[in-house]
Amino acid sequence: MSGILDSVNLRTQMVGQNRLELLLFALETDQQYGINVFKVREVLQCPELTEVPRQTSAIKGMAHIRGETIPVLDLSEAIGRQTVPHEQRQDCFLIVAEYNRRTLAFLVRKVDRILNTQWDQIMAPPTEIGVENYLTAIFEYESKLIEILDVEQILADLYPMATEVSKDVADDTVREKARDYQILIVDDSSVARNQMQRSLEGLGIKVTSCNNGRMAWDLLRDMADRGTDVTTHFLMVISDIEMPEMDGYTLTSMIREDERMSNMHVVLHTSLSGGFNVSMVKKVGADGFLAKFNPDDLATAVVQRIQQVEK
């Protein structure tokens, strides 16, 4: 166990194209869950938590870690399972992670190991289970299914985010021009897609959405095969990086390698943090990078693209 905990900081500095490293953990059962190591700052034994007065959500308190006060989320309770009893917290672990410009610590029962795999081995959950759940992907390992939680949906339920774009970001002239354009957004998280769609449609722009990079690539390729100029059909592509079947880096690389769409304007939009994003954006040929989720930042990128096209 100590080897896993000691290696997390080192692994979060590693960069691999289309490569995924999952930190496996468990809650109150033997079911294993996975979190992308690139989102993990560190893992540690759960310390004594500072309680929050009148706290009614799954946030169980605050932990003072390396000079920073970090809220602690009981992940079991957040997904509708049993709460970790207070007296059992000392046997649990905190996974300190960064999502959507927030640093949180997830309280989990057990941390297992780190698995190295590829994004094309990660599958979207079956559609038959519906959309009212916190599952965003699954991965088969040693004849067992590892579940990857939609942490963005969990956090959106805890911290509802505004999606309205400030009026000073886009004036009436830009909003009028926006009605002539369409954007392709790509994200495996339904909450992220909905957030982006509400913000962009608030500008007046039309939106097409895909659940992962593979679906987006199939759409673009099929349109190009039918003779559609996708570079004029879509003003731009805004894609998540972490997605089952095909990640955003791979999607961008494939777009750049196809001469029919190599000039497509692509912006990567992700909750991943760290300086490696800048270098990877350049490496795969993306036109820009946006950290999730700020409606004004998203709208600004779109407005700048409209202005660029209108010149």
- Packing angle of the helix pair 276-284, 248-257 (nearest 10 deg): 20
Query: CA 294 → CA 25, 100, 193, 255, 301, distances in Å?
Result: 30, 9, 13, 26, 11
User: Residue 289 pLDDT > 80, yes or no?
Assistant: yes
Strand 59-65, strand 68-74: pairing:
antiparallel
Of 85-89, 225-229, 256-260, 267-271, which gets the smallest average pLDDT? 267-271
- Packing angle of the helix pair 151-158, 190-203 (nearest 10 deg): 60
pLDDT in the model for residue 274: 52
pLDDT one-digit tens code per residue, 26-56: 998 989 999 888 788 899 999 999 988 877 7
Query: CA 186 → CA 39, 121, 236, distances in Å?
Result: 20, 18, 11
The CA-based dihedral angle spanning residues 262, 263, 264, 269, taken in that order and rounded to the nearest 10 degrees:
90
- Packing angle of the helix pair 213-225, 248-257 (nearest 10 deg): 20
Q: Give the other-Cβ count within 10 Å of 183's Cβ.
A: 24
Residue 288 in tokens: 């820009």
Name the band, by pLDDT with cuts 50, 70 and 90, for residue 272. low
User: Residue 232 pLDDT > 90, yes or no?
Assistant: yes
SS (H, E, C) the chain: CHHHHHHHHHHCCCCCCCEEEEEEEECCCCCEEEEEHHHEEEEEECCCCECCCCCCCCEEEEEEECCEEEEEEEHHHHCCCCCCCHHHHHHCEEEEEEECCEEEEEEECEEEEEEEEEHHHCECCCHHHCCCCCEEEEEEECCEEEEEECHHHHHHHHCCCCCCCCCCCCCHHHHHHHCCCEEEEECCCHHHHHHHHHHHHHHCCEEEEECCHHHHHHHHHHHHHCCCCHHHHCCEEEECCCCCCCCHHHHHHHHHHCCCCCCCCEEEEECCCCCHHHHHHHHHCCCEEEECCCHHHHHHHHHHHHHHHHC
pLDDT in the model for residue 89: 93
Is residue 289 within 8 A of residue 278, CB to CB? The reply is yes
Name the band, by pLDDT with cuts 50, 70 and 90, for residue 75. very high
In the chain, pLDDT over 90 holds for what percent of residues?
A: 47
Q: Pick the closest to residue 49 from 70, 32, 35 (CA basis).
A: 70
What is the mean pLDDT of the segment spanning 72-85? Answer: 92
Question: What is the distance between the alpha carbons of residues 99 and 273, in angstroms, rounded to a whole number?
Answer: 8
Name the band, by pLDDT with cuts 50, 70 and 90, for residue 167. confident
What is the mean pLDDT of the segment spanning 231-238? Answer: 96
pLDDT in the model for residue 17: 52
pLDDT in the model for residue 7: 46
What is the mean pLDDT of the segment spanning 262-273? Answer: 85
- Whether pTM exceeds 0.95: no
User: Residue 92 pLDDT > 90, yes or no?
Assistant: yes
Query: CA 240 → CA 146, 261, 291, distances in Å?
Result: 21, 19, 10
pLDDT in the model for residue 13: 40
When the pLDDT of each residue in the chain is averaged and rounded to a whole number, the result is 86
Residue 16 in tokens: 């691999």
